[in-house]
Amino acid sequence: MKFGYTIVYVSSVADALTFYKEAFGFETRFLHESGQYGELNTGETVLAFASHAMGEMNLDGRYQKSDLNAPPLGVELAFVTDDVASSYAKAVAAGAISVKEPTAKPWGQVVAYVRAIEGSLIELCSPIGS
C-alpha cells in the first residue's frame, strides 16, 4: 500500500489551482480539459482537486462540502516550510483566511493555520526538530 493522493472537492478546480499557486507556490501538474479535476506538483504525494459535481457523481451525493461559514472539517493539509511567518503572510495576502498566526511550539516547531478559499484547513509548519 502506498499513499498516493489527497483530493479536495471544490467549486472551481481552476480557481483552486490558481489559489494554491499564489498562496503556497505549488505549480499545476495537470488540469483535465473538462476542468473537473486537477493536480499540483507537491512532492511525492499528489494534492488534487475535483469538482463538487464529480464528488456527487463519485459518492452518490453523500459527502459534506466544506463551508467557510462553519468550523473546518476534521482534516488538515500540512505544508512544511523553513519560514512559517513569510509563508503565512504570503498565503493571507493571496486570500487565505487566518485561523491562527505563527506560534512557537514547546518542541521547537513553528506552526500557523489558515483556511483555503474552498474551506480546507491548512497547517503551515517548520520541519520538526528545526
| Predicted TM-score (pTM) of this structure | 0.92
Going by C-beta distance under 8 Å and a sequence separation of 6 or more, which residues neighbour residue 35? 13, 14, 51
Q: What percent of the chain has pLDDT over 70?
A: 98
**Residue 13: burial class (beta carbons within 10 Å; 0-12, 13-18, 19+):** buried
Neighbours of 25 (CB within 10 A): 15
The string of pLDDT tens digits covering residues 12-68 is: 999 999 999 999 999 999 999 999 999 999 988 899 999 999 999 999 988 888 889
**Residue 7: burial class (beta carbons within 10 Å; 0-12, 13-18, 19+):** middle
Neighbours of 81 (CB within 10 A): 18
